[in-house]
Chains A and B, each alone.
Chain A
C-alpha cells in the first residue's frame, strides 16, 4: 500500500529560537487511521499545520497524497479535508448554508451540491436542524457540522485536529463512530491529533507519540502496549526505596523495576498474582507500604514509559501560545528601548 503522508525531518522554529517541532519523520499508509498523540505544547497542531500548508516548515519536507506541501499548497487544499479544534462554521448562517458555501469553496460541482449536502446532513444526524442558524447548535452538533464541512468534497486525506475537544464521552463516541463508518466507505486516510489517549487507543490503527517536538514512539496501539512487557504494579514504600527495589527484582515473573518519583514501577506478565508477593517482600524487610496499585497496559502507560512523565502532568500552553508570548515579550522590550 502506498504512503498517503510522508514527513522527513520536518522542523518548525518560531521566532528563531522556539523549536516547536524538531526533525520529525513518519509515514502514514493510504486508508490508515493515524493518531498523533501528545500533551498540549508537544507539537501536534504545529505538525498538522505544516502538513496542511497552513504553516511553512523551517526544515525538512513533507508530501500529502503525493503533493509537496510547500510547492503545491493550492492543489493540496483541494485534496484534503480539515476539521479544526474550534468551530469555524459561520454562526449567522444555517447548517445547510454553511455546507453549500463549503461546497462552492472546495469546488463540488453545482449539480452535485444539493445531493452531497443532503447526504452529509443525513449521515451526521443534522437533517432536523439543517435550516436553523448555527449559533443555536449545541457543541456536539457544531462538531458534527465541522466534520461535514471537512468531508464535503470527499477528500482523500482527512485531518482532524483535536476534533472531540470539549465533547462529553457520549458525544465523542458518536463522533468517532461516524468517522469510522465514513472511512470504511470511502477508504480515505485519517490523520488525527488528540490528547485523549483512550480514544486514540480505540480509533487509531497506528499512533506516534510526540513530546517536546520529538517523536518518541511509533506503532500500533497493541505494539506499543506490548513493549511495556505486561502489567505495571506501582509500589509506594514509606521510605527505604533502594532496599526494596532489589527484592522486587528477584520476585518470579518480574521483568523490570524502575524508580520514578518516589515509587517503584514493577513490570510483570500478571499483576494480580504479583501484588501479594510484593506486599510479602516488603513485610519481610520491615518496610511499610503507603500504597500498591495495578495498571493494565494503556497508552497512558506507554507515554510514561517513553517520556518518563505522567501524560497529564505536562499539559501546558501550545507552541503557538509560546510563540505569541515570546512575541509580546520581544515587542515590550523593543518598546522600552
Chain B
C-alpha cells in the first residue's frame, strides 16, 4: 500500500463526485422521496392512538424497540438504506472506466490492486456519511412543518455520534467492497445493474431498515439479526432512542459489522487481485 497513490486516486474519485452535481442530486432524491412518500404514508403508529396509553406504549416498544413512532424508526432505517444505495455507483464507475479506457492508466501503472480499489472504497464511503446526516436532519425538519418527523428520545452523546459514524462507514465499506468486486469482474453495465438489483432488494427486505421488528415473523427476525443493514440501523436506533429494548450494546453490533466488513474486504481483495493480475 502506498499512501501517495491512495491519496491521489482518492482525490480523483472525490473530484469526479463533486464535478457531477446531477449524480449528487439523484443520490439525495431517493432518500428524500422515501422519507416523504413512503415514511409519511406508512406512519401507521398513529392508529395506535385509540388504545389506552399504557397498552399503546407496550405495543410500540414491542413493535419498534423503543422508537416513539414508525416514522422515527423508519428514518433511522433510511440511514442504513443510504449506506447501501450510495455505494452502488462505485461498481458502475469501474465498468464505465473499463469501457472508456481510463481504468487502463491505473491498472497498467505500478499501483497495486489494493491501491486501486482501496482508494475507491475510501472515496465511496465518505459520501454515505454525509448523506446519512442529511437524511436525519431532513427527517427532524419534516416534523416541524406539520408532517411526521424524527423524534430523538435519548440523550445523544459524543460516543453515540462516533458509533453512528462508525456504523455507517463500516456498512458503506462492506457494500463498497461488494459492488467494486462486481464492477471489476463484470464487463457489461447491463449485467451489473441486473445483479445489483437482485442483491439490493433481498438485502433491504431481510433487514430491519423498513419493517417494524415486532411485526416480523420469527424466521425473518432470525435472518434479519445477522443482516449487516440491521446491525448498522440498530447502532443508530440505540443512539437515537436508547438501548433498553435491545439484547446487546451498540459495541456488539459494531463488532458484527466489523466482521462483515473484514470478510467482504478480504473477498474483494482476492477477487480484484485476480481480475487485475496480468492475463495469462
Contacts and interface: CB of A to CB of B under 8 A. Distances in A.
A89 B9 CA distance: 13
Contacts of A87: 101
A171 B20 CA distance: 32
Contact of A54 (B9, B19, B101, B108): B108
Nearest to B116: A105
B55 interface: no
A106 B100 CA distance: 21
A262 B157 CA distance: 91
Contacts of A91: 100, 102
Interface string B1-24: 010110111011001100110000
Contact of A90 (B12, B20, B279): B12
B105 A149 contact: yes
A88 interface: yes
B15 A106 contact: no
Contacts of B11: 101
Nearest to B4: A104
Interface residues of B, number: 26
A104 B108 contact: no
B278 to A, nearest CB: 5
Nearest to A50: B278
Interface in A60-79: 73-74, 77-78
A240 to B, nearest CB: 54
Contacts of A21: none
A105 B278 contact: no
Interface in A78-93: 78, 82, 84, 86-93
A308 to B, nearest CB: 33
B274 interface: no
Most buried by A among B11, B102, B106, B280: B102
Contacts of B100: 91
A149 to B, nearest CB: 7
A104 B110 contact: no
Contact of B8 (A55, A77, A82, A105): A105
Given A74-B112, A87-B101, 8 more contacts: A54-B279, A56-B278, A82-B108, A90-B12, A93-B12, A93-B15, A101-B8, A110-B4
Interface of B: 2, 4-5, 7-9, 11-12, 15-16, 19-20, 100-102, 104-106, 108-112, 278-280
Interface of A: 52-56, 73-74, 77-78, 82, 84, 86-93, 97, 100-102, 104-107, 110, 133, 149
